[in-house]
Homo-oligomer: A and B are copies of this chain.
């Protein structure tokens, strides 16, 4: 299948590979393969040469299916891991890559997988290894209009999920059952997939990653719901905090403060602004109100094929291998409100998916922001 968009992306990729002194990319991360070839699946690889040639390796069962979706010059079906290694070796040979450097995804590959892909039976000894995360981030960070369209669709689906979750909130229901409502509604509304849902309640809203548990909602609890549907391969990210019954003054004050912090940050989003700058705005509002000790984690990240992708904030450097990102470009999509205000007894958080534009921004997730 030949689609114009992949040609353009591969041209841009070639330029970035040239700058990074890479002779090939050996990708296994589905999101990266999907971006450059139109097909990203588990247990597969894409080799991309610096002149834009694409060679795929997939399970032998999947060859016909991939042919229907993917942009490629060559495709090989393998039987097992040994076959996968041999396909890689074959492509290195076919493209005449005997030295130079190959880019691998250091922020995705486990150590074991890396050992496999760089096994002497796969990679020529004199070909060096470099991390290609920065190349892939740079490629994917600015979305084209088709991509923005898909993220917009995902944002609409996320609103349907949030509506269903909030409607279900009542004392006695478990966090897992709240997640069930959101997920069911998102699939019905057109999501083919979703990233792991977060639903926490009561004192559990204070933890950093509130995955759903068997805890039953009680009158007076706050409930934090964070969901991320995938539509046509693209994600959205939304979080809302709501109360079970009437919130206390302490809960309402904390919520109002966080919402103010988040909304003032969104107000500053515009092409040319830095992620670090935005982070300072959000944290500044919380700090000015005496909550310096109640902040944890980076509040802003990119959204696209993945619900968390570049630009990733400074301070998240080790996990993601990212440098301090450049000022935001137009048509970058970000989530604002990734981390909350954690008072100790409870946490509050509101997160939205936002497109950066030349003149400012557009918020894609419009679901009402109200605690009660």
Contacts and interface: CB of A to CB of B under 8 A. Distances in A.
Interface string A104-132: 10111111111110010000000000010
Nearest to A82: B315
A347 B59 CA distance: 14
A356 B317 CA distance: 45
Using C-beta atoms within 8 Å of the partner chain, give the interface range for chain A: 35 or more
A179 interface: yes
A288 interface: no
Interface string A26-47: 0000000000000001110000
A65 interface: yes
A61 B296 CA distance: 7
Interface stretch (A13-21, A48-56, A180-188, A219-227): A180-188
Contacts of A171: none
Contact of A318 (B115, B184, B203): B115
Contact of A213 (B106, B192, B206): B192
B59 A112 contact: no
Interface of A: 41-43, 59-62, 64-65, 79-82, 85, 104, 106-116, 119, 131, 133, 174-177, 179-180, 183-184, 187-188, 190-193, 196, 203-204, 206-209, 211-214, 296-297, 315-321, 342, 344, 347
